[in-house]
Structure 1
Amino acid sequence: MLPSFLIMLREGLEAALIVGIIASYLARTGRAAWLPTVWVGILLAVALSLFVGAGVLILGAQFPQKTQELFEAIVGTIAVIVLISMVFWMRKAARSIKKTMEHDIDVALSDVRGPAWALIGMSFFAVAREGLESVFFLLALLQQSPGPAAPLGAILGVLVSALLGFGIYRGGVRLDLRRFFLWTGAFIIFVAAGLASSVLRNLHEAGIWNHLQQTVWDMTRTLPVSSVTGTVLSGVFGYHDAPVLGEVIVWALVLLVTLYFFLRPASAPRPARQEA
């Protein structure tokens, strides 16, 4: 539940911030009449995300067992790539996202082909990015941890993010977004490392990867993954009670390399050279 809750909280808050920036800028500049147009783009983005998620689930259910394992490996790989790219994108874009969105709104409303369609497209693509990312995260998590906990956590995350986004828009809630995205980004990297190791497991079960299959440790009696603690550790850190060498290597590489680049201080821009 915790991974799906935090991931959807972060994704939902990103979408809520984008919508809040658009709505507040339109209201501040006397163009609030365009808000219904923005909601059309948002609803279309939500519909697309739900359609894609349902389509992927239906498609995966039609495959035989080994093909399903390969399909889960593909979905897991996409989820890992998108998870990692998301945390780096927000780390880079957080400082300028408001200015960029306001510029895009001005461009959309001055579009000679029709400001309504331009504004719908802008809000659609902004929210669809978050929605499609969420679809692959949830599909990968559902494959790794079947049961009602992951969907329930996702729903709670969306609800909390909507409340926080509304509070920020109204000015009643103050949140240190830089610190929020830093800590949730680090947590998501742990989730991505666990998903990456499960991808290798899926590839082995599909009969594609059969190397580095030596068991590193066996804690099936001490801390089985089916126990409450094991389930929590599996969902948060990608824990497995009897991992093989390849899974441990993939988990450690993804975790350490990504955390290093994510946590290191951003390099300051070099001053321009002055000509003599």
Structure 2
Amino acid sequence: MLANYLIGLREGLEAGLIVGILVAYLNKLGRRDVLPRLWIGIAIAILVSLGTGAILTWGPYGLSFQAQEILGGSLSILAVGLVTWMIFWMGRNARELKHDLHSRLDAAVAGTAIGIVILGFVSVGREGIETALFIWASVNSGQDAALGTVGAFLGILTSVVISYLIYRGFVRINLGTFFTWTGLFLILVAAGVLAYGIGDLQEAGVIPGGTHAAFNLSHIIPPTSWYGTVLAGVFNFTPAPTWAQFIAWLVYLIVTLLCFIRTVGGKRRTTQQRAEAVESPVS
């Protein structure tokens, strides 16, 4: 539940910030007349995201066991790829997001009416579809479906409230710090989802080695214990992973964490250097 709550909170806050930037800029331009088109695009994006979640939830029931495992494993790995891309994209572009959206909105306002609808759809739809896919993968990997869905809903609801308060100027948060720490957490969650996806493909016979565990930590972390349940629910921890699952989990975790820390650290150094250059211009 906690993992899905943070997924919903982060993705919802991203979408909420984007909507707030677009609405505020249209108000600044004095083009409130095109706001309905923007809301139409956002509404379509929400409906598509809900439809994606529904298809993922009920679509595979008519498939064979092997087909379900192949679909589940493949979509879990796809979800990991999308959420990893999202984490790095936000880490690199968070500070330029406002300027980029303003440029796109200027082009859309100057173009046809459908351009505003498309901009609203694309801006929110990407986060919505990513959220639906990753939450489905997280729930499908062993979480309680009801609790996972409730957690995601509460996260999205919280993000809507925070986004509105930020838009109205009532709340200020350090978005860089927020996206950094939630990014680190989601990398840990994504590593577990990746291991689960590998396990699904092994059960389907696509990847060999599904019958031999690399090690067994059940005597240290019993799956039925409260902490074993928490680790399984939040990070998709399994006490007896196969070698393919363990290697994929470890390699993904090490490589992604190192790259993310380097990206965030490099971005902060660049921002600090720019600030110092402004404060102490060279004559």
TM-score above 0.5: yes
Contact 2:45 2:121 in 1 (8 A): yes
Report the CA distance between 1:73 and its aligned residue.
0.3
The one-letter amino acid of 2:214's match is V
Report the CA distance between 1:52 and its aligned residue.
2.0
Contact 1:41 1:124 in 2 (8 A): yes
Contact 1:75 1:139 in 2 (8 A): no
Long gaps (5+) in structure 2: 272-283
Q: Partner residue of 2:57?
A: 57
Distance in 2 between the 1:82 and 1:191 partners? 13
Contact 1:14 1:130 in 2 (8 A): yes
Q: Partner residue of 2:140?
A: 143
Q: Partner residue of 2:130?
A: 133
CA deviations over 1:55-96 (Å, ceiling 9, x no partner):
233321111112111111011011110010000010111011
Long gaps (5+) in structure 1: 270-276
1:18-57 pair list within 5 angstroms: 18-57=18-57
Q: Partner residue of 2:169?
A: 171
Distance in 2 between the 1:237 and 1:141 partners? 9
Q: Partner residue of 2:255?
A: 257
Contact 1:223 1:241 in 2 (8 A): yes
Alignment root-mean-square deviation, CA = 2.0
Distance in 1 between the 2:69 and 2:222 partners? 22
The one-letter amino acid of 2:3's match is P
Contact 2:15 2:124 in 1 (8 A): yes
Contact 1:109 1:119 in 2 (8 A): yes
The size of the alignment, in residue pairs, is 268
CA deviations over 1:243-269 (Å, ceiling 9, x no partner):
222211111100010000000122759
Contact 2:203 2:210 in 1 (8 A): no
CA deviations over 1:169-222 (Å, ceiling 9, x no partner):
000010100000000001110011101111111111112222375423323354
CA deviations over 1:89-138 (Å, ceiling 9, x no partner):
10111011101111111111111xx2x21111101111010111011101
Distance in 1 between the 2:248 and 2:154 partners? 31
Q: Partner residue of 1:202?
A: 200
Instruction: Return closer, same or farther for 1:160/1:94 CA change in 2, 3 Å cut-off.
Output: same
Distance in 1 between the 2:118 and 2:145 partners? 36
Report the CA distance between 1:32 and its aligned residue.
2.0
1:1-276 pair list within 5 angstroms: 1-111=1-111, 114=112, 116-144=113-141, 145-211=143-209, 214-264=212-262, 265-266=265-266, 268=270
Give the structure-1-normalised TM-score: 0.92
Contact 2:189 2:234 in 1 (8 A): yes
Stretch moving more, 84-93 or 238-247 = 238-247
Give percent identity, aligned residues only.
37
Stretch moving more, 2-11 or 211-220 = 211-220
Distance in 2 between the 1:171 and 1:254 partners? 39
Distance in 2 between the 1:249 and 1:94 partners? 32
Distance in 2 between the 1:124 and 1:246 partners? 38
Distance in 1 between the 2:220 and 2:76 partners? 28
Q: Partner residue of 1:272?
A: none
Q: Partner residue of 1:273?
A: none
Distance in 1 between the 2:224 and 2:100 partners? 47
SS of the aligned residue for 1:54 comes to: helix
SS of the aligned residue for 1:148 comes to: helix
Distance in 2 between the 1:150 and 1:32 partners? 38
Contact 1:189 1:258 in 2 (8 A): yes
SS of the aligned residue for 2:145 comes to: coil
SS of the aligned residue for 1:129 comes to: helix
